[in-house]
Amino acid sequence: MSHTLTAISAAAPLAAGWTMHGLWFRRSLDQARRDPLTGLPTRAAFEKHAEQLLRETRCAVLLIDLDGFKQINDVHGHAAGDAAIRAAGERLGTWVQVQSGAVGRLGGDEFAAVVPMPHTTDLPVELRTLHEMVCEPVEFDGHLIPLGCSIGAYHGPFPAPSLSTALRVADEAMYGAKQTGGGWLITSNPTPAYRTVNGRRDGRPGTDIEEGTT
C-alpha cells in the first residue's frame, strides 16, 4: 500500500506538469490563430470556419472595408488608426457572434465575415444594423473620431460558390458601395465583373493600378 502511495505521489507533479504544458500549448495555438490587434481569427482560421459554414447552409459572405482610414492615420496618428481597427473588429465580432457566423481580419482595415442567412429579406436589416454598429465614433485620446465603412455582401442560392469567389464578388459590391459614399450593397451574382491582378480586383492595393485610399 505504501509503495502505491509513493508511486502516486511521485507521479502527481509529472501529471500536473503535463497538464500545464497542455494548457500552455492550447493557449499558444489559439493566440497564433488570432490577430494580435483585434483578437479576431486570422485569415487561415477564418477561412476554415467559413468554408464549413458554406457547406452546411445558405450564407451571406461579407467584405468590410473602413472608409477614410488613411485620413485617420494622417490626421490623428497610427495609434488612432489602430484604435479604429480594434473598435471595428470588436463591433464586427459582436455582430457575427449573434449570427453564429465566422469572422476574420484579412489585413489592414479589411475584414470578412460569413453568416448563416436562409432568408433574403433578413439581410438588408442585418446589414443596416451592422453598418450602424461599425460606424459609431471611436474614442481616442479624449476625442471622438468619426468612423465609416463600406460593406459588400454576396447572398446567392445554396450551395454557394467557393469562398474565394464569394469574397471576390462581395469585394466588388463593397467597391460599389464605397464609390457612392459608403454604406452597403448586396449582390446575388456569383460571376465576378472585374478582371483580377495577382488574385485581387484590378485597382485594389497590391495590383498594378491602384485606386487612391478613400
> Could you list the active site residues?
109
Strands (E), 69-171: 102-107, 110-116, 138-140, 143-145, 148-154
C-alpha cell at 83: 484604435
Report the C-alpha gap between 134 and 88 in whole angstroms: 5
Half-sphere exposure of 45 (CA within 13 A, CB side): 14
What is the rounded end-to-end Cα distance, in angstroms, of the chain? 76
Report the C-alpha gap between 115 and 97 in whole angstroms: 9
Residue 145's nearest CA partner among 153, 135, 155 is: 135
Q: Any residues with CB less than 8 A from the CB of 130 and at least 6 apart, and which?
A: 62, 92, 95, 151, 184
The strand pairing partners of 102, in sequence order, are 114
Q: What letter does residue 160 receive in the DSSP assignment? A: P
The strand pairing partners of 151, in sequence order, are 64, 184
